[in-house]
Amino acid sequence: MMHFLLLFSRQGRLRLQKWFTPTPEREKKKIIRDMTAMVLARKPKTCNFLHWMDLKVVYKRYASLFFCLAIDDQENELLALEILHRYVELLDKYFGNVCELDIIFNFEKAYFILDEFLIGGEVQETSKQTVARCIEASDMLQEDDNSDWYDVELFG
């Protein structure tokens, strides 16, 4: 089970936060502080895993952005790394050559994609196509509100 996902820049600026387990505000702030400090302090050629209290933290840097995911101790760290990677792939597919700016200015889209991919701390859908299709369909609603078409589009 995943506990939280944080995206932050090299400067330690938070770009996205998702909490899968109920966490009090005060603790959230502490975690964000700890995570950015710990992850940013890591030297190159160290492993992508950290311990934080009784959780494992798996992080990976994509360009200037750090993706940081906390999982239960008995979870598979490598798999968590691939979850991060899959998320980046999904963002990339949606934005087309995703960059940090896309996530900054369209963070709500990044959240929508995340919500189709992970839910309640578990992987919801592993098929890239399905997630993409789902997001597209919901997006189209914005432009065209008489929604007869989506049935075909979304559900193939």
For 135-140, which contacts have Cβ atoms below 8 Å and span 24 or more sequence positions? 135/94, 135/109, 138/112
84 token code pair: 């991060």
Q: Closest CB to another protein among 40 and 99?
A: 99
The answer to whether residue 12 forms part of the interface with another protein (CB under 8 A) is: no
Among 27, 30, 37, 78, binds another protein (CB under 8 A): 78
Binding to another protein by CB under 8 A, coded x per residue (else -) over 83-122, reads --xx-xx--x--xxxxxxxx-xxxxxx-xx--xx--xx-x
Q: Closest CB to another protein among 70 and 116?
A: 116
The CA-atom distances, in angstroms, between 10 and each of 17, 55, 117, 124, 129 are: 15, 23, 25, 29, 31
The answer to whether residue 72 forms part of the interface with another protein (CB under 8 A) is: no
